Amino acid sequence: MTRISKRGRVKSSALWAVPLIVAGLLCLPALGWAKERREPPPAPTTGQPASPDPAPAAAPAREPTGGALGTALASCDKASESSEPLTLPGAKGEVKLDRCYRGRDHLVCSFNALLNEAKSLIEDYGKIVEARYPDVSNVDGICGIKPDNLATDLQNATDFTGRFKALKAEYDARINCASKIGQSLRDVTLPDMAQAPGILKSMIDSIEGDVKGVSVIQAKVVELAEKIDTSQKAMVTLRKIHRTMCLKDQRALSQSEGRPNR
């Protein structure tokens, strides 16, 4: 009897479990449907054409040098920016002049800008050399230099170096261009001109004359740059010695030296 009762209870429990299992199974699709509602379906992918190979980047425009020189050179370039390629007759066809050359007017304009910058460097920074820092011979001479003056000249020497490098780069580029044009002019022939040799010679002489005018003062600036470099190195050393050996008030030293020994 007891066995029958236990079997009845087990059977009854099983019967109660069946509806619960069925209800759970019915909830699973609902949960999945709710999840689909919360997570929107991904946007359909549409076929997009493959991106074409990037075109070769155009050569970047040459940035003008900063300062007055850069402004002057940019003005020269702007005045001749519409210049077409220049050609002259030659024995084997047209002689194409290098694209760096936009006519003598542009060349002379650029040379004038270089001349003005060179003169400015000589006038603005020549005083650094005149101070004769490398020639100081003793501590009294070093301590007689005002620290503010030394600091100012050191900064000016640094400024000069930057401007000189810019000037030299522009000068070298234009001298190289003028040299190419001079060589090309030697390949030119003027069969329609009775005085062709004289004309060609005068053309070459004109370019060489333009170059000579700017080369003379450029040589002076190069010489100044060498002297300023020497002065700058001396100033760095002098400042170290000044900090090591000099009193903040030189009068204190004079007073101490004038006191009698006890």
Domain map of the chain by residue range? 67-258
Among 41-45, 132-136, 188-192, 205-209, which stretch is predicted with the lowest mean pLDDT?
Answer: 41-45
Q: For 122-145, what is the mean pLDDT?
A: 96
Provide the mean pLDDT of the chain: 79
Q: What one-character DSSP code corresponds to residue 248? A: S
| Range of weakest confidence among 45-54, 60-69, 73-82, 153-162 | 45-54
Structure tokens at 210: 């333009």
Please name which of 103, 112, 115, 93 lies closest in space to residue 178, comparing C-alpha atoms. 103
% of the chain with per-residue pLDDT over 90: 65
> From CA 13, how far away is CA 157, in angstroms rounded?
102
Q: Are 110 and 207 in contact (CB under 8 A)?
A: no
Q: What is the pLDDT of residue 84?
A: 81
| pLDDT per position as a tens digit, 245-254 | 999 875 445 4
- Residue 189: how many other CB atoms lie within 10 Å: 15
20-24, 132-136, 200-204: least confidently modelled range: 20-24
103 sits in the region (left: phi over 0; alpha: psi -120 to 50; else beta) called left
| Mean pLDDT in residue range 136-146 | 95
**Is the pLDDT assigned to residue 29 strictly greater than 50?**
no
For the cut 90, the answer to whether the pLDDT of residue 54 exceeds it is: no
pLDDT above 60: residue 62: no
pLDDT at 7 over 60: no
Which tens digits make up the pLDDT trace of 150-194? 999 999 999 999 999 999 999 999 999 999 999 999 999 999 999
**Per-residue pLDDT at 239 exceeds 50:** yes
CA 86, CA 102: separation in Å to the nearest integer? 7
| 85 in Cβ contact with 95 (< 8 Å) | no
| Consecutive H or E run containing 90 | strand 87-90
Q: Print burial letters for 205-243: b (CB count within 10 Å at least 16), e (below 16).
A: eebeebbeebeebbeebeebbeebeebbebbeebbeebe
CA 243 to chain centre: 35
For the CA atoms of 87, 89, 91, 95, the dihedral, rounded to the nearest 10 degrees, stands at 0
The two three-digit tokens of residue 177, written as one number: 């261009």
Q: What is the mean pLDDT of residues 202-228?
A: 97
